[in-house]
Amino acid sequence: MSLIPFDDRDGYIWMDGQILPWRDAKVHVLTHGLHYGSSVFEGERAYGGVIFKSTEHSQRFRESAELLDFEIPYSVAELDRAKALVVEKNGQPDAYVRPVAWRGSEMMAVAAQQNKIHVAIASWVWPSMFDIATKMKGIRLDIAQYRRPDPATAPSKSKAAGLYMICTISKHQAEKKGYADALMYDWQGRVAECTGANVFFTRDGAVHTPIADCFLDGITRKTVIELAKRRGMDVIERRIMPDELATFNECFITGTAAEVTPVSEIGPYKFTPGNISRTLIEDYSAEVRPKAKAA
């Protein structure tokens, strides 16, 4: 199957305040963000033409940039409007939305305080995957070689491009072994997250998830925690050690792309997707479509 390159597609991208034809949205090879990782981004989803928690994503987008010591030159409201415009202009009611900001090319060294901050927003078709029967089979996870870094060594609360380098390596290694993704431990060897999604476990009717202090506290993660609590489930955010994995019944991951996806296996550990996973898949599906929910 041939892939359609992301630099050669039809459509429109919002860049530095203008809507451009997709192929005209370009940067120079001496862009600071490319060489030094001075870039932040968001991953969002539009359902039925409406971006889920758009404002919350825009706020985090700006906060991520501040943690990398630069300011996005657009307000939250301006970013929200630009994202909605891109989805509308591309005619994609069910889409993945990608805002990205980076330092430009004025200076090419570690220090780049005079560099212009650029912002772009793209969207592409990404149908929702709420097919319960398929999801309930669960995915298989490897255990990653690399660990999430000590928050004293990296801006872990930022959705910074550079923090995903070890995620790409880990996911590639997992896929080569036939797994869908990999579970990452933190710098102290505790369960942390997957390469692009947060992780949850169940035992005795309660939901357990690692404390998000050295990895991103995902917006989907927070949404699912809220949904579980609405159902009266106990949600326990705590340190989870690898040897506990054998004691859990269900496992699922959450993220903009993953939504709520059950897990059947993590390395040698097995899980059986069950009622809690199914309930939260259904509740999340309803939550991201408020109009359908009210109909």
Which one-letter amino acid corresponds to residue 40?
A: V
How do 181-185 and 139-143 pair as beta strands?
parallel
Would you say residue 61 has pLDDT above 60? yes
pLDDT of residue 289: 87
Instruction: Name residue, tokens 């300011």.
Output: 71
- The total domain count for the chain is 2
pLDDT of residue 126: 86
Phi-psi region of 105 (alpha: psi -120 to 50; beta: other; left: phi over 0): alpha
pLDDT of residue 129: 66
Q: How far is CA 223 from CA 217, 254, 259, 260, 295, in A?
A: 11, 9, 10, 11, 21
104 lies in the same domain as 223: no
Residue 234 lies in a domain: yes
Interval 74-102 mean pLDDT = 97
The Cα–Cα gap between 253 and 201 comes to 9
pLDDT of residue 22: 98
Phi, psi torsion values for 107, nearest 5 degrees: -130, 140
SS3 at position 282: helix
How many residues are given for the chain? 295
49 lies in the same domain as 136: no
228 lies in the same domain as 273: yes
Helix (H) or strand (E) holding 44: strand 44-47
Q: 34: domain range?
A: 12-125
138 lies in the same domain as 66: no
> How many Cα atoms sit within 13 Å of 270 on the Cβ side?
2
The Cα–Cα gap between 282 and 279 comes to 5
166 lies in the same domain as 84: no
Residue 202 lies in a domain: yes
Catalytic choice (83, 135, 159, 171): 159
117 lies in the same domain as 146: no
pLDDT of residue 252: 98
The Cα–Cα gap between 110 and 53 comes to 34
Q: Is 157 a catalytic residue?
A: no
How do 39-41 and 95-103 pair as beta strands?
antiparallel
Helix (H) or strand (E) holding 265: strand 259-266
pLDDT of residue 295: 37
175 lies in the same domain as 42: no
Residue 55 lies in a domain: yes
Interval 137-141 mean pLDDT = 96
110 lies in the same domain as 157: no
170 lies in the same domain as 289: yes
Could you tell me the CATH number of the domain that includes residue 163?
3.20.10.10
Q: How far is CA 163 from CA 20, 76, 148, 154, 215, in A?
A: 29, 24, 9, 8, 9
Interval 164-184 mean pLDDT = 98
Residue 6 lies in a domain: no
188 lies in the same domain as 257: yes
The Cα–Cα gap between 137 and 128 comes to 17
Percent of the chain topping pLDDT 90: 93
Residue 5 lies in a domain: no
The Cα–Cα gap between 207 and 201 comes to 6
Residue 4 lies in a domain: no
DSSP 144: -
Phi-psi region of 91 (alpha: psi -120 to 50; beta: other; left: phi over 0): left
Would you say residue 119 has pLDDT above 50? yes
120 lies in the same domain as 236: no
Chain segment 198-239, per-residue pLDDT in tens: 999 999 999 999 999 999 999 999 999 999 999 999 999 999
Final residue of a structural domain among 85, 107, 125:
125
Would you say residue 292 has pLDDT above 50? no
The Cα–Cα gap between 195 and 257 comes to 12
DSSP 23: G
The Cα–Cα gap between 161 and 169 comes to 14
Average pLDDT, the chain: 95
21 lies in the same domain as 92: yes
The Cα–Cα gap between 190 and 252 comes to 17
Final residue of a structural domain among 72, 100, 125:
125
The Cα–Cα gap between 54 and 50 comes to 8
Do residues 115 and 104 make contact, with C-beta atoms less than 8 angstroms apart?
A: yes
Chain segment 13-35, per-residue pLDDT in tens: 999 999 999 999 999 999 999 99
Residue 79 lies in a domain: yes
- Give residue 290's pLDDT band: very low, low, confident or very high (50, 70, 90): low
pLDDT of residue 3: 83
Residue 196 lies in a domain: yes
